[in-house]
Chain A
Amino acid sequence: MIVLAQQVASHPLSPMQPLLFYVFAALTVGSAWAIVLSQNIIRMAVYLLTTLAGVAAIYFMLNAEFLAAIQLIVYAGGTLILIVFGVMLTSKNPFMQLVTSPLERALGLFIAASVAVMAMVALLNSPVPGGAAAPAAPAGHDHVARIGRALLSDYLVPFELAAVLLLVVMVAAAYMARRTQR
């Protein structure tokens, strides 16, 4: 049994894993496609949620569990805010249809094409040879402790700067939302 367990550990790609990868990749790409095609802002937000959840599932499969959980907590929570914004900014009618003009369509196509070219160039120049799957992090790694140590030693200054930035944003939000004196 130990030998078998070691085999599995040394060979993390069980036959289920490519199948699951394709399922989650299809979910991610399909819902991203649906965001672009949809005309209703709340539906877009919900499709964005499934896209983010699909990416989180792929993180789980790569054993990057902490990253996956943070992806769900931060980005899924962010989508909730997006829904609230979508409702508030279209306060007259939240069921409004968004119509894109031809100019916006051309502009969007141009930006999408340039991002796609950039991504392809980056992929083809990446150190992982032949487009092979990136190596998964070894299971049973203590990611939380390692990430915490890295944040408070090597990346202390950016970490603290981000914290200060968030504090400034929070104070500003509280100031803007304060009750006006009458």
Chain B
Amino acid sequence: MQDIISCLQSIATPQLIAHVIVIMVIANLMLGGCAYLILLERKVAAWTQDRIGPNRVNFSFGLVSLKSKHFGLGQALVDGVKLLVKEDYDPPQVDKILFYLAPVFAVGTALVGWAIIPWGGLMQWGDQTLVIAAADINIGIIYPLAIGSLAVYGVVVGGYASTNKYSFLGALRATAQMLSYEIPMSLCVLIIILMSGTPRAEDIAVLQAAGGLHHSWNILFQPLLAVIFFTCVLAECNRAPFDLAESEQELVGGYHTEYSSMKWALFFLGEYMHMITGSAMFALLFLGGWDLLPFLGALPAVGGIGLVLLKFAIFAGKVFFLLFVMMWIRWSLPRFRFDQLMRLAWRSLIPMTLILLLASGVIVYLRLSPWYFLLANIAVFVGGLFVGPLLPQGPPVNRRVPLAGSRFSPLVEVAAKG
């Protein structure tokens, strides 16, 4: 007994307790938040399409009678219960092992991906400095990339195991999409590591929050890179306009066509958690993490519990705003065609990030002012505008097939001539 107590005492350092508290708080916030993000998504869709959206379910649940509808906030809970009690049906032809493994990949990777996000910055505890993150890994922002490369397996394995041609097409599309968009995303992270001089998440946030003209939010120095990174995050999360793996108008539901009940819900939980992680990564890399305003250096890097809570609120606000932008984009833009998707990655994003990487390397080597990054971004953007039309065009798509009865019917031309 004595041994166990002394052993526990030696393990339970303040840093470990901080990690455990962060994990418990953030994991629960994310799981609860996902249910309400789905409600928000439906509300945003409704506002975009000039509808009202779900507004009926309040917190009475038929048990007590309440006058107020509470803006339909009970909907998320009711949806959760519905998914839990719905019949869990396995189609007879599926590959059982992989069919059950796929939602595990989808949620398992989503649950560990956000480990390095420094939600609350640094905290002073006695004479120690605690990192308010789920884990303090010294490879920092490389870690979410590693987890992200595993996340695609939920879609691929699920689509394959369903033994359904629509699911299978969705899985193959997801494979090509993830392989393509991982490259510019990694290059973006590499450029940020290069200009910060460290891969550690907390140090990157501190550097952007330092204040002054030479330390500010990276989006001000690298606006083009920020746009590219956000595009890649959308593609990696399988969000519209890049949701070709599920595209319900062409592939029924794509990879999750055969899934129902809680297994289906796990895919969606995974998708929304990846959205949160992606937004948090963007906020960390480009929006200064927990920093309040650029240039000011308003918040000190290390502080007490009050400062940690304030920083967490600012960080969560930025993440929430980015999530809203993602939904906004989803309901405003139509889906890409597959060849457009591939061409966007291979012919514009990857060359532009490669040139930016080269330029950033030169700027870092010569120790120039960070505003040269902005110059490089503008140069690459303008250069792209001029060079783009000169590049060889792809094969013609949307060919006009002269088919009787179609818009390009040969009979009509004959009739017009005659």
Residues of A within 8 A of B (CB): 1-2, 4-5, 7-8, 11, 14-16, 40, 42-43, 46, 49, 53, 56, 65-66, 68-70, 72-73, 76-77, 80-81, 83-84, 87, 94-95, 139-144, 179
Contact = CB atoms under 8 A, between A and B. Distances in A.
A76 B146 CA distance: 9
A73 B145 contact: yes
A40 B149 CA distance: 23
A143 B143 CA distance: 13
A56 B368 CA distance: 38
Interface string B86-100: 000000000101100
Contacts of B163: 95
Interface SS, B side: helix
Interface residues of B, number: 39
28 contacts: A1-B126, A2-B128, A4-B10, A5-B128, A8-B10, A11-B10, A14-B10, A43-B95, A53-B150, A56-B146, A65-B137, A65-B138, A65-B143, A68-B146, A72-B147, A73-B149, A73-B186, A76-B146, A77-B179, A77-B182, A80-B149, A80-B156, A80-B175, A80-B178, A83-B156, A84-B175, A141-B138, A144-B199
Nearest to A38: B97
A5 B126 CA distance: 13
A42 to B, nearest CB: 6
Interface of B: 7, 9-11, 13-15, 95, 97-98, 101, 126-128, 137-139, 142-143, 145-147, 149-150, 152-153, 156-157, 160, 163, 168, 172, 175, 178-179, 182, 186, 199, 395
A49 to B, nearest CB: 6
Contacts of B153: 46, 49, 76, 80
B138 A69 contact: no
For A46, A84, A142, the residue with the greatest tally of chain B CB atoms inside 10 Å of its CB is A46
A143 B137 CA distance: 11
B344 to A, nearest CB: 18
A7 B10 contact: yes
B127 A8 contact: no
Contacts of B152: 80
A17 to B, nearest CB: 10
A142 B147 CA distance: 21
A72 B150 contact: yes
B320 to A, nearest CB: 28
